[in-house]
Structure 1
Amino acid sequence: MKYLITAEPIPEGIKLLLWNQTTQRQEVNIDPQYRPYFYLPHPIPRPDNTLLHELEVELSTVTKRDFFTGDPTTVTKVEYA
């Protein structure tokens, strides 16, 4: 079994530092396909939207399902390019 110790965004994707229970050693795994992201309420206020565009991130609108109510909700996905 492997346990996540840290995750760090790097230009190549994401760098995962894992602990391998079987070998009792640390392992580094770099995933070039992963792009860090987070969600913000939709719509984003204009000043925040301007700032995000200056940071050169990708913005998209997605529909997520609320965990407690099951209702669909629209959010803005902010993804690092």
Structure 2
Amino acid sequence: MIENIPEIGLDVIQVEEVEIKIFNRDRTICDVLRYENKLEREVFTNAIKRYIKDPKKNVRNLFEYGEVFNIKNKLQTYIGVWL
């Protein structure tokens, strides 16, 4: 199990000479599901649809993160049926 929750899915990218920390696409979708009620429906739906079509998605990471964030049921409902 992943121990440091704030670090889950955190990547570091280089922009010019500056390192920037960002969350990867799989962590971002977990956050979209976690905060579904705080997002506009169109934003939520768009994020899910784009993730499903994304060839760079990592479903293994997604479900691993989903277990840590206790959103496995939401993942099955919104993502699992399309994979």
TM normalised by structure 1 equals 0.27
Higher RCO (CA < 8 A, seq sep 6+): 2
- Compare the two structures and name the one with the higher strand fraction: 1
TM normalised by structure 2 equals 0.27
